Amino acid sequence: MSEKKLVYLAGPLFTHAELEYNRKLRDTLLNNGFSVFLPQEDAEDAAQERERQNQECIFLKCVEGIDASDIIVAVLDGADVDAGTAWEAGYAYAKGKPVIGLRTDFRELSDGIVNLMLEMAIVALARDEEELIKIIEKYQ
């Protein structure tokens, strides 16, 4: 049996809705045979770190998570893509890791679906979770 691929799930994590969607997406990936690094839980869910506001520790855990991952899934919803997600996708691209975008938002820019730099950095763009699973299974 092959080893599970590790997916780094990049996405905004500042509202209750975003946090809940990230957990739902993580569960979908887990149920389809992937391991998942979820920054909101795997990088900053240490109470002492939050209390100290240790941003460097959170940053380093996320960088390590991307470095250890086989695939990056970047949630690209919103009028403008979350800045942290954009950075994570760019870093992963620079490391030669496949970045798969997920955009369930129906809004589009006049000259593309998302920012040109992001659009060129992703290997594929899914429009919903079902399409994401079909795309990501190619990397399993």
Q: What is the pLDDT of residue 49?
A: 55
Q: Rg for the chain (alpha carbons), in Å?
A: 15
Question: Which of 91, 44, 48, 101 is closest to 68 using CA atoms?
Answer: 91
CA distance 16 to 128: 20
Q: Tell me, what's the pLDDT at 5?
A: 94
Q: What pLDDT was estimated at residue 1? A: 44
The DSSP code for 43 is: T
**58 within 8 A of 40, measured Cβ to Cβ:** no
- Tell me the pLDDT of the chain (140 aa) as tens digits: 468 999 999 999 889 999 999 999 999 999 999 999 999 999 875 555 556 667 888 899 999 999 999 999 999 998 889 999 999 999 999 999 999 999 998 887 656 778 889 999 999 999 999 999 999 999 87
Q: Say what the pLDDT of residue 104 is.
A: 93
- List the domains of the chain with CATH numbers: 6-139 (3.40.50.450)
Q: What is the pTM of this model?
A: 0.90
Using alpha carbons, select from 108, 97, 21, 112 the residue that is nearest to residue 66.
Answer: 97
